[in-house]
Amino acid sequence: MENKAQVAILMGSDSDWPLVVKAVDVLNKFGVCTDVRILSAHRTPGKVREYIQTAEENGVKVFIGAAGKAAHLPGVIASLTTLPVIGIPIKSSATGGLDALLSIVQMPAGIPVATVAIDGSENAALLAVQMFSVTDESLANKLAEFKREMNDKILAADKELQEEIKDI
């Protein structure tokens, strides 16, 4: 893989970092380079536009936008690029993140944003990995191994449970 970022992750606030770092960890595990920035759709719209253009020029292929409340950041990113955008709705208000989820998932026709679950940063990263794995066999193999490990973990837990409950 190249040393240049393949995935750009933007978050609207530094308070989003504890959640976003989980996506960075997943991408690092798969060897996908990232660039992570704090840029707000509302407070720094010019910088968001400038960053998107620069990131594309530097080889970014997928954007992830994390935002809570009104959560316009993923949609703004999508309005500025033709590249895939994945939105992470963040639980940050009295509505438990539903406001952010609806804001991200209800995009107008022609401006799609793939949306993961509220606080679903790991799945956002895995979706980016899946996108890259379409043309990267090595990454596809790593992803298949990851899924095998998940399968084995569940089967081991089930086996333990079966041993435990047969004595009940």
Residue closest to 125 by CA, chosen among 89, 152, 91, 87: 87
Would you list the domain boundaries of the chain? 7-135, 137-168
Lay out the sheet containing 114-115: strands in order across.
34-38, 7-11, 62-68, 85-90, 114-115
Residue 92 confidence class, pLDDT cut points 50, 70, 90: confident
Q: Other C-beta atoms within 10 Å of 107: how many?
A: 17
Q: Across all residues in the chain, what is the average pLDDT?
A: 95
Does the structure show a pLDDT above 90 at 113?
A: yes
With 0.75 as the threshold, say if the pTM is over it: yes
Please give the share of the chain, as a percent, with pLDDT higher than 70.
Answer: 98
Measured at the CA of 104, the angle between CA 48 and CA 74, to 5 degrees, comes to: 20
CA distance 90 to 66: 7
Residue closest to 89 by CA, chosen among 109, 62, 113, 108: 113
Cα-Cα-Cα-Cα dihedral of 52, 58, 60, 65, to 10°? Answer: -30
Instruction: Output the pLDDT for position 1.
Output: 33
Beta bridge partners of 63: 8, 85
> From residue 61, how far is each of 35, 81, 83 by CA, in Å?
12, 10, 6
What average pLDDT does range 54-78 have in this prediction? 96
CATH number of 7-135: 3.40.50.1970
Q: What is the pLDDT of residues 116-136, one digit of tens each?
A: 999 999 999 999 999 999 999
Residues 143 and 30 sit within 8 Å (Cβ to Cβ): yes
What average pLDDT does range 36-52 have in this prediction? 97
Residue 3 confidence class, pLDDT cut points 50, 70, 90: low
